[in-house]
Structure 1
C-alpha cells in the first residue's frame, strides 16, 4: 500500500479530507485491474449536528470513461456528526487503467431539516512511481 497526500474541501462548515492509497498487492496490471483505497474524514466545524444521508461519486479513468455511483449513506451507515466531531471511514475503487480521478458530494441534512450538498474534493488516483507519458 502506497499513500499519496491528502485532499480537502469545506462546505458550510463541513470539512472533507480524502487520502487515497494505491493497493499494489491487490492490483493486477497484467489483467487490467488497478485498485485504490481511500480514507475519508468528515469533520463538522459548524454549530449544528448534521446527518450524512447519501453519496454521489464521479469516477473517471485515464481513457476518459466516467462512472457515477449514487447510494444511501457510506459503508452501510448514515452517520450523525455533531459539532466538533469527526466521522471517518475507508472504502475502495477499482479502475481498468493505471490512473484516474474521483470527486463527488455528500447529501447532508441539518437539525432544522435543511438538506445541502457537501463537496468531496477531486483527488487523483495515480500509481506511485509510474512513468508519465504526455499525450
Structure 2
C-alpha cells in the first residue's frame, strides 16, 4: 500500500495480482488496484479527470487519460472519501503505475493536480 498527499487530499493505492485471470504463458498478467481518495482539506472538491503512466517491463510506457474514474466524477466534502477498484493488464509480470487526478475546488473553481503515488505491479507466478 502506498500513499501521497497533495493540498490535504490523500490518495492511497493497494494492488492485487489476479492469477485466476492471468495467462503468464501468453504474456497476459492482470492486476487490480483499489484507490481511496480522502479529502482532508477544508474545501469541497470534485474529481474531474485522471492521467496515468503505465510502465510494463515487457512493453512500452502507456499513457491513459480521461474524465473521472470508473465512469464517475465524485464530489468530496471535507472529511469525506471515495473508493474504487480498477484494473490493468501487462504483457510482463512486472510493472508500475503513477499518475494524477485533476480536482476542482467547487467554491472558487481552482484546479488542483493531485498526485497518485507510484505503485508496483508484480505478479506472484511462483505460488501454485
Q: Pick from 104, 113, 123 the counterpart of residue 117 of structure 1.
A: 113
Is residue 36 of structure 1 aligned with residue 38 of structure 2?
no
The CA deviation at 1:127 is 1.3
Residue aligned with 2:19, SS: coil
Q: TM-score, normalised by structure 2?
A: 0.94
The CA deviation at 1:63 is 3.7
Is residue 104 of structure 1 aligned with residue 125 of structure 2?
no
Q: Which residue of the partner structure matches residue 90 of structure 2?
A: 95
CA contact (8 A) 2:59 2:91 kept: no
Cα RMSD (Å) of the superposition?
1.1
Q: Which residue of the partner structure matches residue 16 of structure 1?
A: 11
CA contact (8 A) 2:50 2:69 kept: yes
Q: Pick from 49, 58, 65 the counterpart of residue 54 of structure 1.
A: 49
Q: TM-score, normalised by structure 1?
A: 0.90
Residue aligned with 2:20, SS: coil
Q: Which residue of the partner structure matches residue 70 of structure 1?
A: 65
Dislocated runs of 4+, deviation >6 Å: none
CA contact (8 A) 2:14 2:33 kept: yes
C-alpha change, 1:46 and 1:117, in structure 2 (3 Å) is same
Distance 2:96 2:30 in 1: 12
**What are structure 1's unaligned runs of at least 5 residues?**
1-5, 131-135
Q: How many residues align?
A: 125
